[in-house]
Structure 1
Amino acid sequence: MANKEDNRISGVTNCILGATAGCGATVIVQPVDLIKTRMQTQGEKKIYKSSIDCFRKVITKEGILGIYTGLDAALLRQLTYTGGRFGTYKYLEETYKNQYGTKPGYASRLFMGMIAGAVGSFLGTPTEIILIRMTADGRLPIEEQRNYRNVFHAFKRIIQEEGALTLFRGAAPTINRGIIVNMVQLGTYYQTKEFLTENLNIPESRFLHFCCGLLCGFLSAFVTAPMDFAKTRIQDMATVTDKPLYKGTVDVIYKVTRREGFLTVYTGFMPYFLRIGPRNVFTFMFLEELTNLYLNYLK
């Protein structure tokens, strides 16, 4: 096995490896992501009683392939968001090593994760807008459904009907969430793995990658669930001439907790965690495997 510490991987390659790993994980967790979105966007009129009820109704109404609605948008999002954040993080980590001649500490890794999250989230906002709308469409009455045929059709219609800037609606809460998510995910994953391998002499293995990915997935889900809820509500708002229903993340959380109760901002937490947890695990495991394959056979 190649020693990754003694090999340099270019920034473009890191972006490609990260994007590919993210796409692999997305194919697995897309059904859970769709259920999470449906649960969060149903509003005060509760269409679904639970995540299981949501899953059952989607299958009954839209067929088995209904749980993969928006997959093309989800994959495109991984090419921009995950590729951008992994590429940025690895670039910052490599720059730190070259400048200081040592590995970054935990605080530095957290800061790198914040920057990587901001970059990746900004790049991924347009595709996330489309993903939210496509996965939420099935809960609307037929006359209100947007009926995007695919991600490219969605791009075209949004630009024509609502303007190009609509593709960046909710960019601020998306970036804010991305900063915190990646601070926890990237910083914690690499720091935990380094601690376990270097201080407790636990060898590199798939099981190690699994445990580190699951840990940072749970932490990031708990911290960011309310922000993810707010982001989803903002991105799902219809364009109207009147004043927008929500002004921002804080406004969403305030209005929702006042009208629907505090725990509403944790609506869909279980599918949210089940999306982030497995997504983290699969993404990091795929990334480690892809990195090893690249170093051993392609570099």
Structure 2
Amino acid sequence: MSEQPKKPLPFVANFAAGAIAGVSEILTFYPLDVVKTRMQLSTQKSQGLVGSFKSIVREEGVGRLYRGLVPPLLLEAPKRAVKFAANDFWGKTYLDLFGEKKMNQQLSILTGCSAGATESFVVVPFELVKIRLQDKASASLYSGPMDVVRQIIKKEGLLGMYNGMESTFWRHLWWNGGYFGCIFQVRSMLPEPKNPQQTLLNNFISGCVGGFVGTALNTPFDMVKSRIQSAPRIAGVPPKYNWTYPSLVLIAREEGLPALYKGFVPKVLRLAPGGGVLLLVVEFTLGVFRQALGPPYI
């Protein structure tokens, strides 16, 4: 008798698993995100990861490494939940659309890119608040996250909360395409797991590789997004950084091609193992849901 395929878990299960994974990841790796943003916003020669850490702690105190934590912490649950739920939704949609029964490499990349594009619409206001609080030049202008929101809306209007939307779209499209595409490929190359521990290890390894590749692809777009979102819009004054691809060319011309990868080291140190943690927690949580719901989900 052939084995019946597992029934797909409901949307709420994928949403909850993504939310739990996102919060776990941000609490573990947030200081690296602060250092990454500072390195990206600086137009001077980089101090490097260790030098930037020391500079922040020496000049502003250890607490500055957690400055702006509230917006991403509030964001991580819906952001990661949307990421994995959207990936699940688009995966099923493309399988039906192309008449495939199993996911392949091309569909996994297309699915990841679509999930990233979907996710980008959720994250922009939270990312904007986080960048303004992390930026040394503007952090003292705000008393906290809600003050950032109030000042942006007052000075730039409601649409000001979506400053950097286009660059955020490209950042998430490229990261998710690389992340989910690599997860599929690496899983297929790893030995078939014989027990739950090996399954968790395979998930961690594939998530780490996916996180590294996604970071390598999207760092220039993340750099541009940080530059765009750090500068308040002033009526009648064209911003130096506006659209993504022209800004990439401008930064490369003024600061050199390596400048497009400012902040890469702390970013990859966060998102490579962070990608592994994300996938590990998601798969573990989904396993708990399957056990709780019982057949036919197991």
- The structure-2 alpha-carbon separation of the partners of 1:276 and 1:5, relative to structure 1 and needing over 3 Å to count, comes to farther
> Corresponding residue for 2:114?
115
The CA distance in 2 between the partners of 1:87 and 1:168, in whole Å, is 23
> Corresponding residue for 1:264?
259
- The structure-2 alpha-carbon separation of the partners of 1:96 and 1:6, relative to structure 1 and needing over 3 Å to count, comes to farther
Q: Is 1:278 aligned to 2:273, yes or no?
A: yes
Superposed CA deviations along residues 47-96 of structure 1, whole A, max 9, x for unmatched, are x6222121112222332222111111111222332221211111222345
The CA distance in 2 between the partners of 1:4 and 1:220, in whole Å, is 34
Q: What SS does the aligned partner of 1:187 have?
A: helix
CA RMSD of aligned residues (A): 2.3
Q: What SS does the aligned partner of 2:59 have?
A: helix
The CA distance in 2 between the partners of 1:98 and 1:296, in whole Å, is 27
TM-score where L is the length of structure 1: 0.88
Contact in 2 for aligned 1:29/1:278 (Cα 8 Å): no
Aligned match for 1:183, one of 171, 177, 182: 177
> Corresponding residue for 1:36?
36
The CA distance in 1 between the partners of 2:74 and 2:32, in whole Å, is 18
Q: Is 1:164 aligned to 2:158, yes or no?
A: yes
1:86-105 equivalences in 2 (<5 Å): 86-96=84-94, 100=99, 102-105=101-104
> Corresponding residue for 1:11?
11
Q: How many residues align?
A: 287
- The structure-2 alpha-carbon separation of the partners of 1:252 and 1:240, relative to structure 1 and needing over 3 Å to count, comes to same
Q: What SS does the aligned partner of 1:6 have?
A: coil
Contact in 2 for aligned 1:11/1:88 (Cα 8 Å): no
> Corresponding residue for 2:216?
222
Contact in 2 for aligned 1:125/1:167 (Cα 8 Å): yes
Superposed CA deviations along residues 185-228 of structure 1, whole A, max 9, x for unmatched, are 122213432x146xx42444222112101111121121211111
The CA distance in 1 between the partners of 2:5 and 2:233, in whole Å, is 50
Q: 1:5 Cα shift?
A: 5.7
> Corresponding residue for 1:23?
23
The CA distance in 1 between the partners of 2:123 and 2:293, in whole Å, is 28
- The structure-2 alpha-carbon separation of the partners of 1:269 and 1:102, relative to structure 1 and needing over 3 Å to count, comes to same
% identical aligned pairs: 25
Q: 1:278 Cα shift?
A: 1.8
The CA distance in 2 between the partners of 1:69 and 1:60, in whole Å, is 15
Amino acid of the residue matched to residue 186 of structure 1? Answer: F
Q: Which runs of 5+ in 1 are unaligned?
A: none
TM-score where L is the length of structure 2: 0.88
> Corresponding residue for 2:248?
253
Superposed CA deviations along residues 96-131 of structure 1, whole A, max 9, x for unmatched, are 556747212111111111111000011111111111
The CA distance in 2 between the partners of 1:7 and 1:72, in whole Å, is 37
Amino acid of the residue matched to residue 79 of structure 2? Answer: Y
Moved more, 172-181 or 30-39: 172-181
The CA distance in 1 between the partners of 2:257 and 2:189, in whole Å, is 38
- The structure-2 alpha-carbon separation of the partners of 1:155 and 1:75, relative to structure 1 and needing over 3 Å to count, comes to same
